[in-house]
Amino acid sequence: MKTARLLRSATFRLALLYMLIFGGSVAVLLGFIYWATVGVLSEQVDETIQADIKGLAEQYERRGTRGIAAIIGERIRKDPGGRTVYLLTDPLQRPLVGNLDSWPPAKPDADGWIAFELVDRGDPDERPYLARAKRFVLQGGLNLLVGREVRELERTRHMIVNAMIWGIAITLALALAGGIAMSRSTARRIDSINQTSRDIMSGDLDRRIPAGGTGDEFDQLAENLNAMLDRIQGLMEGLRHVSDNIAHDLRTPLTRLRGRLEDLDDADLSAAERTGRIDAAVAEADTLLSVFNALLRITQIEAGGRRENFAAVDLAAVLHDVAELYEPLAETKGLTFSSHIGDVQNITADRDLIFQAVANLTDNAIKYTPAGGSVTLHAAGNTITVSDSGPGVPEDAREDVFRRFHRLEESRNAPGSGLGLSLVRAVAQLHDGDVRLEENRPGLKAVLTVG
Amino acid sequence: MRVLVIEDDADVAAYIVKALTEAGYNPSHADNGKDGLVMATAEDFDVLVVDRMLPGPDGLTIIRTLRASEDQTPALILSALGDVDDRVKGLKAGGDDYLTKPFAASELLARLEALTRRASTRGTPAETRLAVGDLEMDLLSRSVRRAGTAIDLQPREFRLLECLMRNAGNVVTRTMLLEGVWDYHFDPQTNVIDVHVSRLRQKIDKDFDTPLIQTVRGAGYVLRDSGRNSGP
């Protein structure tokens, strides 16, 4: 189980790959060392043998068979251990002089090199050892074999090869152990993320991924995931808040509607009274429906689904239309309405929604400003401002009023659903803009930016 | 007047059929897209009421099919509460008007009336003069007279009056006015339209004995010469 999991782990597989690459590199490095030591040593042996042959060939030319035999004999005497091998034979390979009994049976290679085994004459129990020799044919058909025992060379070669095998084995073992350790520590961090995710999925939304405190990539991942979770939780709370509010805000009109319907069940009612009560009930239902419509509209706009109606919009014309539509309403309420629509930029927008947003702001300004006050629609660039001389909104409530159904205590009894500003914000954000409320001294200033 | 109602929801369909019958229409009903399309092509109707979402071909497909075969019968599209703003799609498909469910029967009737009126004047030379009772409107010189007296109207007031006069005798709802006169489809939070109508009233009716613009409670406005009965 555990092994299978380890093999599936991405970090462990990376460690394994790393181990192979590292092991390969070490093998190449050791190969070079081998070539640089053993190779050079055996080349030296070959050079010595060739120099020896060259010297003996010269002596043969100068002093003939007898002379060379004497030299060889002399050399053998000086080397009782038999580190150097000499054998001079006649053309029929019968030995004339030398420390070998017979011509070695091994076949020489193209250059005349022969590798063969020797037994130490001084110690017959010792295991045979390797020697390397070269055959040279002297003038007159005599065969000369000059060689060296390569016991030392072989021993060195053995040592180096052994060291290399162990070196690679240790390297691989260390890399593997490191890989497992690394993958374990990474897996632990990922496990903690997974565990937190599972906890959250099973409903514990307050869980957060613990940070290691080192500020590494895992900590950054944890931070980002935590920030994402915070955002989701915020949205969830917003949603819960909205549903609470829907339940609360719609319970009252629904109860009223229910009451009105019950009132109809009264045999003593005159036809006119009955019609009046039916009308009132229908009006109540219509109010409820318009609230639902407004909610759905906001949701749709927030989901960004309305961009299909985007087109080039003459913003100035839309604003003039709003001013024209609302000016009579303001005047009827005894307000001074003025509009200053300057050099506004034309935008790609949903004309109806922009109209609705500015209309909502204007409507609010007119609704909350007492008679004798003023409402001004001002626009320049991509900024539309609706300012009034009304009671304003306390600074700490200027963000809350954009929440669905949020209404200030003092305006609870004014008509409206508490959705107007939520819609304005949704429209603004759909158009890559925003809306905020500012102090107008006296009154309130709503600043809407689009695009 | 024959109306074809293509609506799969039995309750909504019954509500529409009842309202239409009471208003003097002669409604037929189909409860799925396939039957609806067959009926619309086989029989002759004055106006269609088509639900957007239907089993079989949906409302937009039906209208598109009819328009492709040169059938110009005016069509009003109904849509569910959920797709509040698919109006543009509906009109692009060849629908003539659009109404979101749930709706008041008065709104549906007012819109159907306006649709059939528009269709009946289609093809006739464009009117240059409208008259209701002693109120006259010259569309070329853009002047209005009542009982021979010239009345000075702002451009928007002129269009408002024109809209009411074209639908004389029929209820025009507030949303119809917003769409027809201001050309915006939106949801006014206060009855901002009423203020405009009352201003127009000041100019048209104030100095005369018989008021022409009347408020229909819970529905909208109607321009009618109450001296003579010019109802449908």
Give the mutation candidate from A295, A320, A321, A325 for the B interface (greatest B CB count, under 10 A).
A325
Domain at B129-223, CATH from 3.20.20.70, 3.40.50.720, 1.10.10.10, 1.25.40.10: 1.10.10.10
* The predicted structure's pLDDT at residue B200: 93
pLDDT digits (tens, 9 = 90+) for B77-111: 998 755 555 777 788 888 888 888 878 888 899 89
CB contact under 8 A, A328 and B85: no
Band (B230; pLDDT cuts 50, 70, 90):
very low
Give the CATH number of domain A307-449.
3.30.565.10
Band (A306; pLDDT cuts 50, 70, 90):
low
Residue of B88, B89, B186 lying closest to A359 (CB–CB): B186
Strand-by-strand arrangement of the A84-89 sheet: A95-98, A84-89, A143-149, A129-137, A113-118
CB contact under 8 A, B100 and A328: no
pLDDT digits (tens, 9 = 90+) for A175-202: 888 877 877 788 888 888 888 889 888 8
Mean pLDDT for the stretch of residues A245-273: 82
Measured between CA atoms, the residue of chain A closest to residue B156 is A324
Does A420 or B127 have the greater pLDDT score?
A420
* The predicted structure's pLDDT at residue A359: 94
pLDDT at A435 over 90: yes
Topology of A2-156 in CATH? Answer: Beta-Lactamase (3.30.450)
Token look-up 């989901």 returns A303
Q: Give the CA angle between residues B94, B97, B100 to the nearest 5°.
A: 120
Residue of A308, A324, A352 lying closest to B186 (CB–CB): A352
Judged by a CB distance cut-off of 8 A, whether residue A323 touches chain B is no
List of residues 6+ apart from A291 with CB closer than 8 A:
A249, A250, A253, A417, A419
Tell me how close the Cα of A397 comes to any Cα of chain B, in angstroms. Answer: 22
Chain A CB contacts of B182 below 8 Å: 321, 325
CB contact under 8 A, B81 and A352: no
Range with the poorest average pLDDT among A237-251, A334-348, A390-404:
A237-251
Is there a contact between A243 and A295 (Cβ–Cβ < 8 Å)?
no
Largest CA distance in chain A: 160
pLDDT at A303 over 50: yes
List of residues 6+ apart from A355 with CB closer than 8 A:
A318, A321, A322, B184, B186
Judged by a CB distance cut-off of 8 A, whether residue A136 touches chain B is no
pLDDT at A64 over 70: yes
Range with the poorest average pLDDT among A204-208, A401-405, B10-14, B118-122:
B118-122
Window 104-123 of A, Cβ < 8 Å to B:
none
**3 state SS for A184-204:** HHHHHHHHHHHHHHHHHHCCC
Domain at B2-121, CATH from 3.40.50.2300, 3.40.1160.10, 2.60.40.420, 3.10.20.600: 3.40.50.2300
Q: Give the CA angle between residues B219, B192, A402 to the nearest 5°.
A: 110
All CATH 3.40.50.2300 domain ranges in chain B, comma separated: 2-121
Structure tokens at A157: 């070669």
Mean pLDDT for the stretch of residues B224-228: 71
Chain A CB contacts of B195 below 8 Å: 328-329, 332
pLDDT digits (tens, 9 = 90+) for A198-253: 988 888 888 888 887 788 888 888 889 899 888 888 888 877 877 777 777 778 78
Structure tokens at B77: 């599209």
Mean pLDDT for the stretch of residues B197-213: 89
CB contact under 8 A, B100 and A293: yes
Mean pLDDT for the stretch of residues B172-186: 87
Judged by a CB distance cut-off of 8 A, whether residue A351 touches chain B is yes
Tell me how close the Cα of A293 comes to any Cα of chain B, in angstroms. Answer: 7
Band (B231; pLDDT cuts 50, 70, 90):
very low
Range with the poorest average pLDDT among A62-71, A406-415, B53-62:
A406-415
pLDDT at A141 over 60: yes
* The predicted structure's pLDDT at residue B51: 92
What's the CA gap between A206 and A236, in Å, rounded?
A: 12
Report the percentage of chain A scoring pLDDT > 90.
18
CB contact under 8 A, A325 and B196: yes
Mean pLDDT for the stretch of residues A358-373: 93
Topology of A217-296 in CATH? Answer: Helix Hairpins (1.10.287)
Chain B CB contacts of A328 below 8 Å: 192, 195-196, 199
All CATH 1.10.10.10 domain ranges in chain B, comma separated: 129-223
Judged by a CB distance cut-off of 8 A, whether residue A61 touches chain B is no
Chain B CB contacts of A293 below 8 Å: 81, 84, 100, 187
Band (A125; pLDDT cuts 50, 70, 90):
low
pLDDT at A115 over 80: yes
Q: Where in chain A are the domains?
A: 2-156, 217-296, 307-449
What residue type is assigned to position B89 of the chain?
K
Structure tokens at A135: 């055959």
Contact pairs from chain A to chain B, CB under 8 Å? 69
Band (A94; pLDDT cuts 50, 70, 90):
confident
Please give the mean pLDDT across all residues of chain A. 84
* The predicted structure's pLDDT at residue B229: 47
What's the CA gap between A319 and A338, in Å, rounded?
A: 12
What's the CA gap between A406 and A390, in Å, rounded?
A: 19
- How much is the ipTM here? 0.79
